[in-house]
Amino acid sequence: MLTVENLTVRFPTRFGDTTAIENININVQAGEIHGLVGESGAGKSTVGAAVIGLLQTPGYISEGNIMLGDTDLRALDVNQAHALRGKRISMIFQDPQTSLNPLMTVEEQLVETILAHEKMSADEARTRAIDLLEEIGIKNAAERIKSWPHQFSGGMRQRVVIALALCTNPELIIADEPTTALDVAVQSQVLDLIRSLADKRKIGFILITHDIGVIAQIADRVTVMRNGHVVESGETAQVLGRPKHAYTRALMSAVPPMDHKIDRFSVPATEGIEGASVFTGDLAEQWLLEEKDLPEDEQKELSIGLSIEALDVRFSGTRKSLWRKPEDFIALDKISFNVKPGSIMGLVGESGSGKSTVAKTITGLITPNSGTMMLGNEILPAGKSRSRKHASRRIIQMVFQDPYSSLNSRHKIGSILTEPLWFYGLEKDPEKRQELAASMLALVGMAPDAIDKYPHQFSGGQRQRIAVARALLARPRFLICDEPTSALDVSIQAEILNLLKDLQSKFGLTILFISHNLSVVRQMADDMVVLRNGVIEEAGKTEDLFERPQAEYTKKLLSLTPVMPKDWAC
């Protein structure tokens, strides 16, 4: 149905044109889900944009054919191409929060789209829209259709997005990371919906994703892309089951498996990034292990534990009436857990479960309503009562999710890294501070000359290494990693996770590892806690939890996470 031949897209720049994708060949049949997988920068989204004719300006198609049935998509003029969009090809975007117009009701958006393509009355269009919403799994659609987008939850909103893409009966839908922004439970529902639409309505899908698990679960055929080229293409079972190309194999082995624990992640040796375990930062290493500045009792035990007792956090809700007090939103409901010294504790849950609230409470950014926190043998003052100079502000450090926004873009790496050294008064001599920072960079597997560069000169993975280095330069004993790899590609994720493991075992760090990704937690954590709506559903040894989950919720989470069939993993 859709045939893409020798597609090449170029972007003109000041220094001549750069090629975004080259020589792409893709065939999609009616009712087929064609997976397009690759890491960021592979050109997956560019393929989708070229097919639907929405390339970011100034990009242009320099060669190749795109045929939809008998229509040559490249031969259409602007108006014809626009009329075809929605009518025959449609698209689903990644984030349902931002892909609906917030100021129009769902009904207005659906009816408008239908009327744009078909000759019918507004009433007929409304009837069709309601039927479609019912079909797609929105209950009481006749009422719900009058709602605004913000009145739907994330999963429901993605259903509305799918309904919008579907309302004109297109032949082809391009789904660009349709489930990346969703929780596992919602993700599996949306994937089921896509599968059933392909089967029942014979719609062809191009499913663009970085998640091989998703591909393995629903795609019929798959094309693996890398740096704008097709690496491998074919039936899903064949490509993922018996990958021919080394890159496909590397990509698959970088995905952390969920069904067993491995010691280290294998990293696709790609862009010449220094191996994560090559420690040349002797100076930084010695400095981290040095004990002279530490108080007596801390010297005996380098590692420090954390225990949390009946921690309760509430936020005041929105006021609905003038006279009644608004009801509190309970973010954490009297939770207790214990992080053993020198261990990694995994904290798992869906979005909104209170994971990040735990991190913020421990670091003192949120004041809890009640409960106690013990760091080692001392009580950790909560929230605002913790003084600026309190020792725990140095001992507890944090690595954030998004390495793009967690480093100050106007500071050089050198000044970002030396800040904790003078701030906490750890090193008085400015030259020594620079030396230590350079050595720490080497320790986290970066070239020490990075010290004179700015954050934007580094990739996401490199930035996350810098963020880890900054945390370590405060000489922490307790590290909180809040989704440290969820913004990164799988191969980079593998490198960062290896690095964290190495550092943890070398320096006896205690780590609270927050993630929504179960397979990552299985690889990293010794113990884990499953959190849901501010309540602990289950806690225990990680291996026990995965092998013999007790709580219904844990079982559900485990069963819904897309995994590759066992015999495919290599």
Partner 1 sequence: MFYFIYKRLIQSVFVMLAVAFLAFSLFRFVGDPITQMTGVETSVVDQERLREELGLNDPFISQFGRFTVDMLQGDFGYSFRTRQPVAEMIASRIPATLELGVVALLISLVVGIPAGVYTALRPRGVITQTILMTTLIGISIPTFVIGIMLIFLFGVQLGWLPTFGRGETVNIGFWESSFFSIDGWRALILPAVTLGVYQLTLTMRLVRAQMMDVMRSDYIRFATARGVPMRQLYFRHALANTMVPVITIIGLQFGGVIAFSIVTESVFQWPGMGLLFLESIRFVDIPVMGVYLVVIAFFFVVVNLLVDLLYVAIDPRLRV
Positions in the binding site for partner 1 (CB under 8 A) = 52, 54, 82-87, 90-91, 93, 95, 98-105, 109, 112-113, 116-117, 148, 150, 161, 164-165, 167-168, 318-322
Q: Whole-angstrom Cα distance, residue 528 to residue 64?
A: 51
Q: Which is nearer to partner 1, 11 or 568 (CB)?
A: 11
Q: Whole-angstrom Cα distance, residue 44 to residue 231?
A: 12
Burial of 175 (0-12, 13-18, 19+ CB in 10 A): buried
Residue type, 383: G
Q: Which is nearer to partner 1, 121 or 318 (CB)?
A: 318
- 8 A C-beta contact, residue 362 and residue 306: yes
Query: Cβ 94 to partner 1, closest distance in Å?
Result: 8
Q: Which is nearer to partner 1, 51 or 61 (CB)?
A: 51
Q: Which is nearer to partner 1, 118 or 301 (CB)?
A: 118
Q: Which is nearer to partner 1, 148 or 454 (CB)?
A: 148
Q: Which is nearer to partner 1, 319 or 411 (CB)?
A: 319
How is residue 399 written in tokens?
A: 């690595």
How is residue 446 written in tokens?
A: 């970066």
Q: Which is nearer to partner 1, 101 or 559 (CB)?
A: 101
Query: Cβ 86 to partner 1, closest distance in Å?
Result: 3
Q: Whole-angstrom Cα distance, residue 185 to residue 560?
A: 6
Query: Cβ 58 to partner 1, closest distance in Å?
Result: 11
Residue type, 427: E
Query: Cβ 236 to partner 1, closest distance in Å?
Result: 26
Q: Is 515 helix (H, G, I), strand (E, B) or coil?
A: strand
Q: Whole-angstrom Cα distance, residue 354 to residue 546?
A: 21
Q: Which is nearer to partner 1, 322 or 379 (CB)?
A: 322
Q: Which is nearer to partner 1, 48 or 305 (CB)?
A: 48
Q: Which is nearer to partner 1, 93 or 279 (CB)?
A: 93
Q: Which residues contact 221 (CB under 8 A, 6 or more apart)?
A: 32, 33, 34, 35, 233, 234, 235, 236
Q: Is 183 helix (H, G, I), strand (E, B) or coil?
A: coil
Q: Which residues contact 373 (CB under 8 A, 6 or more apart)?
A: 306, 307, 308, 309, 311, 361, 362, 379, 380, 382
Q: For residue 542, which of 515, 564, 565, 560 has the smallest C-alpha distance?
A: 515
Angle at 495 between CA 492 and CA 501, to 5 degrees: 140
Query: Cβ 204 to partner 1, closest distance in Å?
Result: 16
Residue type, 443: L
Task: Find the helix or strand (DSSP H, E) in which 125 lies.
Answer: helix 122-135
- 8 A C-beta contact, residue 393 and residue 413: no
Radius of gyration of the chain (CA): 26
Q: Which is nearer to partner 1, 158 or 397 (CB)?
A: 158
Query: Cβ 357 to partner 1, closest distance in Å?
Result: 22
Crossing angle of helices 154-166 and 106-117, in 10° steps, is 20
Secondary structure (DSSP) of 444-465? TT--GGGGGS-GGGS-HHHHHH
Query: Cβ 353 to partner 1, closest distance in Å?
Result: 23
Query: Cβ 306 to partner 1, closest distance in Å?
Result: 38
Query: Cβ 178 to partner 1, closest distance in Å?
Result: 12
Query: Cβ 157 to partner 1, closest distance in Å?
Result: 11
CA distances from 479 to 13, 100, 385, 414 (A): 43, 38, 21, 21
- 8 A C-beta contact, residue 177 and residue 95: no
Secondary structure (DSSP) of 141-163? HHHHTTS-GGGS-HHHHHHHHHH
Query: Cβ 294 to partner 1, closest distance in Å?
Result: 50
Find where tokens 């320099």 sit. 62
Q: Which is nearer to partner 1, 69 or 430 (CB)?
A: 69
Q: Whole-angstrom Cα distance, residue 483 to residue 306?
A: 19
Query: Cβ 69 to partner 1, closest distance in Å?
Result: 17
Q: Which is nearer to partner 1, 115 or 535 (CB)?
A: 115
Query: Cβ 46 to partner 1, closest distance in Å?
Result: 14
